Structure 1
Amino acid sequence: MSKVVLITGASSGIGKSIATVLSDKGYKVYGTSRNPKNLEKISFKLIALDVLKVDTIQRAVDLVIQKEGRLDVLVNNAGMGITGPLEDTPTDEMRAVFNTNLFGAIDVMKAVLPQMRSQQSGLIINVTSIAGYMGLPFRGLYSATKGALEIVSEATSMEVKQFGINVVNIAPGDFATNIAEGRYHTPVFENSAYKKTYQSNLDLMDAHVDEGMHPKEMAKAVFNIINTKKPKIHYKVGKFMEKFSIILKRILPDRVYEKLLMNHYKL
């Protein structure tokens, strides 16, 4: 029996790639988008869901269950980026990215868990970020949202294990997607104390995305996780140095690691 998969944020980038690959492999895939009518030529069903609106989340989950009678996998992929110096970034924009990346993902998990509990099986894959393992300059709020989702996933994994449900994280590094277009960019203010360093780091971030891996690598990783009988809690998908940076943080003194990051970001 083909597994039924719900993927948030499937209109572009990593989410679209995951939905396409899984659909091509025979899964019954429902992708979501805030504006599903804007997407054409796809191999999976696209339905409306806005992670900031609980009623749309519940309607989308109910629709999948009504049509398929079950829900086997949730890929919590919808999210947004944010950049800027802490001092210059509006606090309301900080709250907005937490609402999307953390609380939005939590609300989708809460919507699918009753069905997964009733069928005594299920898999939740939360898309986090390698950036969530460390505080990155001018991306601290983004790192914080993804790090928080990692921790919430760890706790939820233990809570739902008794119902036959697995919760895992998959943390991508830099991927060649249009994520930069959807970020909230704090403007480079003319009178900002961070004008020079922030601008140079914005240029560096864009270069990293342009040189990033193809989204299909994330799709392959998700496919492998779905087909693993006993999945791990944490997965990382990225270039060697991106993944190695997590190991370095564990073994190096804090200030030594900080100095490495500052050298990398030319601070």
Structure 2
Amino acid sequence: MIDQQHINYQRIEKAIAYIKDNFKDQPSLDEIAAAVHLSPFHFQRLFTEWAGVSPKKFIQYISLEYAKGLLKNRGSTLLDTAYETGLSGTSRLHDLFVNIEGMTPGEFKNGGEGLVINYCFAESPFGKMIVASTSKGVCHMFFEDDEAQALVDLEKRFPNACYHQITDRFQQDALFIFQNDWKQLNQIKLHLAGTPFQVKVWESLLKIPLGGLNTYGDIAKSIEQPKAARAVGTAIGSNPVAFLIPCHRVIQGSGNIGGYMWGKTRKSAIIGWEAAQREQ
């Protein structure tokens, strides 16, 4: 089941890459299906199961016009409550609160010395992930298909910590975000190593609701440093918790998707998937 889910995402990822490269030509169902070596019928069913909408509708969600339209109406999509982001599933919106606690200067400086970090590997709609947590909350959540490489990346961030491959409640709560019934979610707690500026930027990302997009300049203004868009971009690029801290919801002022630590195709996939979930 898990392996099949991963295979299906790889097919969808390939389809999205094709759509991204050709969306201005509005490719037909047959053309997209042929690009991923599936029959139109099979591809339509697989894509709709994954995204909740047809491939044709999905093209609209990841087009530049959709992105620019969201930016023009961004005032109506932002939530005023700090740390709050709207999640919509098969039912109405549910509120999810994510609480960030920064690590102490000593923990940050000493590479996690004295920290005990639990970690596990899990599947998501967007590929395999590694999720790690301390006694205070999730400290690391990366997309990575190669488990050995995922562990190397985690250990680079906290070279002096003690590691255990154990799934704990913090990790489970974080992974519930990918489920359809978000009523199971408790408050998600994060324990992050970052400068005060980075933490402030990451907190601001949590105000962007599901299906909404902001620019780097918007984030700079939201933290009352309107001239710091470049520094904001660097902080966003250092986000240690994929998806939960939604750096994928930040795009360029031109409406272009922009960069993403875990790949532009995955970023487009997440943006489109969230837009589809919002309309269900």
Query: Shorter-chain TM-score: which interval?
Result: under 0.3
Q: TM-score, normalised by structure 2?
A: 0.22
Say which structure, 1 or 2, has more relative contact order (CA 8 Å, 6+ apart).
2
